[in-house]
Amino acid sequence: MDLLHILAGAIVGFTIGITGVGGGSLMTPILVLGFSINPAIAVGTDLLYAAITKCGGIAAHHRQKTIDWMIVKRLAIGSIPASIMTIFCLDLLRDSGFDYEKLMTSTLGIMLILTSFVVIMHKRFLAFLHSSLSEKAHWRQSLINFRPLATTLTGTVLGILVTISSVGAGAIGAAILFFLYPRKSAINIVGTDIAHAVPLTAIAGLGHLHFGSVDVELLASLLIGSLPAIYIGSHLGKKLPERFLRPIVASILVVMGASFAF
* The 3-state secondary structure of the chain, one letter per residue: CCHHHHHHHHHHHHHHHHHCCCHHHHHHHHHHHHHCCCHHHHHHHHHHHHHHHHHHHHHHHHHCCCCCHHHHHHHHHHHHHHHHHHHHHHHHHHHCCCCHHHHHHHHHHHHHHHHHHHHHHHHHHHHHHHHHHHCCCHHHHHHHHCHHHHHHHHHHHHHHHHHHHCCCCCHHHHHHHHHHCCCCCHHHHHHHHHHHHHHHHHHHHHHHHHCCCCCHHHHHHHHHHHHHHHHHHHHHCCCCCHHHHHHHHHHHHHHHHHHHHC
pLDDT tens digits, 152-182: 999 999 999 999 998 877 778 888 888 888 7
Mean pLDDT estimate for the chain = 83
Residue 224 has pLDDT above 90, yes or no: yes
Percent of the chain with pLDDT over 90: 31
Domain definitions of the chain by residue range: 3-261
The pTM is what?
0.85
